[in-house]
Amino acid sequence: MVTASLPPSLLPQIFAIFAFSTCGSYSGMFKMSVECKNRTESDLSIEVKFEYPFRLHQVYFDATTCKGGSAERLFLVGDYSSSAEFFVTIAVFSFLYSMAALAVYCFILEKYRENCKGAQIDFIVSAVFAFMWLVSSCAWAKGLSDVKTATDPERVITLISACDKPENSCREVHDPKVSGLNTSVAFGFINLILWIGNLWFVFKETGWISALSGTYVPSQENNSFPNNGNGAWPWPLCNNGLMYPLRSLGFHSDAPKI
């Protein structure tokens, strides 16, 4: 996430925060009503609450049986914690890595510029995060779709035995609001775009372009290219994020390989 020519953007940090906060802090609720033939046994406000990490098989509610006596305890269906936790984990770690890159830019940029290794490691890590954003966002999008289905009041009503009898009336009172979760998926794909776009800028700092093209790129600080007297290049192959191809400097078989 560090580039030698420009300071690292704060957008990855910001959108990573949005991604894990909109998903990780979510809590929702929906309501149903069961109106029994015997009105005294009706329950017109059955409230079901659920939250991150969406282990819905552990979420229960009590519903009337319309037969008198105690209510029956029912559980929602499904465990979608793996995709949700994976998404939040990637968001948190990408935020931490972005902050580390910002610290490198602020405090040890010159060391980062000394050779290609810093930029090359940065490129590889950024590519991994871009791929992880793709996987986690797709997985969470599918998980969210399943969460919506499992928390649909019309679907949950089918779990209530009293609703199987025609003399009883069951209906949804309040749908869960999942706009925040929809936003988290959008933030996930925005992060994917940001990290993919960042790859190009990091790639230019690795020196691989110059190494492949064989073109000579002058340093901003050094205009001469001495050797150490033995035909070997005495400086790091990368300086200020730029690669100096050996063949353009007159080195051939005796020059170190890139």
Residues 149-175: tens digit of each pLDDT: 999 999 999 999 999 888 899 999 999
Number of DSSP helices (H) and strands (E) in the chain, helices first = 7, 7
- 38-92 per-position pLDDT tens digit: 888 888 889 999 999 999 999 999 999 888 878 899 999 999 999 999 999 999 9
Of residues 118, 94, 86, 116, the one with CA closest to residue 105: 118
Q: 57 with 50: CB under 8 angstroms?
A: no
0.85 cut: is pTM over it?
no
DSSP 248: G
Identify the pLDDT of residue 10.
81
**pLDDT (0 to 100) of residue 101:** 84
CA 58 from chain centre, in angstroms, equals: 26
pLDDT-based confidence at 204, cuts 50/70/90? confident
- Cα 56 versus chain centre, distance: 22
User: Which residues are 58's β-sheet partners?
Assistant: none
- Predicted confidence at residue 214, as pLDDT, reads 54
